[in-house]
Copies of this chain bind each other. A is one copy, B any other.
């Protein structure tokens, strides 16, 4: 059970201090404790939650939906079904993102190979003229 200064929270979470304050303002992060001087002291729980936020954010969940999730968490144990439903939907979403990235990546790699072929042909001394059927 330790506490963390703002600088330490930045270090641990990878969010900027401005972002942490922003998340607190919009209610994505519950009001963080303050010391006597009014400075934030983050708890392990805060950092745990921020880890979850990072995970959701990095997988493309919009803030509005993270807020819905935060609300469910705040509302207690009887929302666990709903949390599962939300996370499952997001999981499917991430799955789709991965599939789409892989598909487009293959296209990019084909394009790279196409360019390599163009270079190889134009470099071959026997063949000075270059056909460029798809010029981009």
Contact = CB atoms under 8 A, between A and B. Distances in A.
Contacts of A95: 105
A36 interface: no
Interface size, A (range): 35 or more
Contacts of A101: 58-59, 94, 97-98, 101
A87 B111 contact: yes
Chain A's interface: helix, strand, loop or mixed, by majority?
A: helix
Interface string A105-136: 10111011001101100100000001010111
Interface hub of A88, A112, A130 (most chain B Cβ within 10 A): A112
Interface of A: 45, 48-49, 52, 55-56, 58-59, 73, 77, 80-81, 83-84, 87-88, 90-91, 94-95, 97-98, 100-102, 104-105, 107-109, 111-112, 115-116, 118-119, 122, 130, 132, 134-136
Contact of A59 (B52, B108, B132): B108
6 contacts: A45-B135, A77-B118, A84-B116, A87-B111, A98-B98, A98-B101
